[in-house]
Amino acid sequence: MSLADLIGKLRSDFLEELKAAVSSKDLESLKVKYLGKKGPVANLMLELKGCTQDERPHLGKLINDLKEELASHCENSIARLKSEELQSQFAREWLDATLPGRKRPLGRLHPVTQMLQKVIDLFIGMGFSVQYGPDVDTDYYNFEGLNFPPDHPARDMQDTFYLNHNFLLRTHTSNVQVHAMESHQPPIRIIAPGRCFRNENISARSHVFFHQVEGVYIDQNVTFADLLATFQEFLSKLFGEKVETRFRPSYFPFVEPGLEIDVRCTRCKGAGCRICKHSGWLEILGAGMVHPNVLRKGNIDPEVYSGYAWGMGIERLAINFFDIPDIRMFTENDLRFLEQF
Ligand code: DAH
């Protein structure tokens, strides 16, 4: 085959393959295949050496034309296919920039946790430190060490979940008082937040489990006036003076004298509702001067030391603070409720 024929054949072979190329990638390899250093067009140039001097300029021009023609075919087709490919990629990845974004739900603290943190912060501000005690404890720490003798009727005030004859779910955080006195000599100034359990009927105002913050302050010359001042300060800081409070005498075996503190029911503003049992007041804490028997059991000399203690119901407080109609809402995990805090 003459060189001129070879040139013609190469062109038609190339055009054939060009038709078959469907992607810019195919074209890139086609370009390398024909126009690469060791490809057929470069070979033609070598063939040129075997031709006569007369033929060379003409054939050389033919080869150069072929080379340019193939190169421009390749460039044009590559550019066309690349732009087509880009457009179909855009079509696939189409995005409506005017659509509103997807919201990521934000987590938040449970209202009981928020209430606990407020209370803890206020007492820390008054110099108390935080101590934790066990939810599962013995009869001694929950009752006996707090001056509840066996079979004492006061035990009936708190219906207890017993695990066996000795272990129980604590009915109040007062067990931490006993642990604290056992391991520390005065001055003792602690608060003890935690969960408590009682075998009671569930209603709008009480539940089988709830939270308390216990507190105990024992030192020389601690008086009832200190107790009252502490709570006046605490309640006015918490409610910002807005809420009316009531202190009234009460009985707990581990204090003498004992009292309860009520706040005006924010739900009914004192008019009476099922939350406050129609009394207009909500009992939020029990308190008193630590009983000498309790101090003695904790190896603290009641002749030298005195102290006050309290236990505060956090759900009761939160009901009033956030104006919540039913204590059961805290544990129902209804997002419509939880998202309001
Ligand atoms: N533990 C009591 C209760 O759960 C509350 C209480 C009353 C705690 C008087 C005290 C206290 O520390 O001094 O009903």
How remote is the CA of residue 259 from the centroid of ligand 1, in Å?
9
Predicted confidence band of residue 133 (pLDDT cuts 50, 70, 90):
very high
> Residue 268 pLDDT > 90, yes or no?
no
- The answer to whether 282 and 276 are in contact (CB under 8 A) is yes
Nearest-CA residue for atom 7 of ligand 1: 286
Question: Looking at ligand 1, which residue's alpha carbon is closest to its atom 8?
Answer: 311
* Selection from 76-85, 161-170, 287-296 with the highest mean pLDDT: 287-296
Q: What residues are in contact with ligand 1 under a 6 Å CB criterion?
A: 172, 174, 214, 252, 254-255, 258, 286-288, 309-311
pLDDT at 16: 92
pLDDT at 236: 87
Q: What is the pLDDT of residue 144?
A: 94
Tokens of 174: 């007062």
Three-state helix/strand/coil letters over 142-205: HCHHHCCCCCCHHHHHCCCCECCCCEEECCCCCHHHHHHHHHCCCCEEEEEEEEEECCCCCCCC
Q: Within a 10 A sphere around the Cβ of 328, how many other Cβ atoms?
A: 15
Degrees to nearest 5, angle at CA 186 with 180 and 188: 50
For Cα atoms 270, 194, 329, give the angle at the middle one, nearest 5 degrees: 50
**CATH among 2.170.190.11, 2.10.10.100, 3.40.50.300, 3.30.930.10 for 111-338:** 3.30.930.10
Instruction: Provide the pLDDT for residue 94.
Output: 83
Ligand 1 mutation pick, 177, 178, 254, 290, max ligand atoms within 8 A of CB: 254
pLDDT computed for residue 139 by the predictor: 94
Q: What is the pLDDT of residues 85-130, one digit of tens each?
A: 899 988 888 888 899 988 888 889 999 999 999 999 999 999 999 9
Domain boundaries, the chain: 3-92, 111-338
How close is the Cα of 251 to the center of ligand 1, in Å? 9
The percentage of the chain sitting over the pLDDT mark of 70, rounded to a whole number, equals: 99
CA of 268 from ligand 1 middle (Å) equals 26
Higher pLDDT, 142 or 49: 142
Give residue 266's pLDDT: 76
Q: How confident is the model at residue 241 (pLDDT cuts 50, 70, 90)?
A: low
Which residues are CB-contacts of 302 (< 8 A; sequence separation ≥ 6)?
292, 295, 296
Q: What is the mean pLDDT of residues 197-216?
A: 93
What is the percent of the chain where pLDDT is above 90?
53
- Residue 228 confidence class, pLDDT cut points 50, 70, 90: very high
Nearest alpha carbon, ligand 1 atom 14:
286
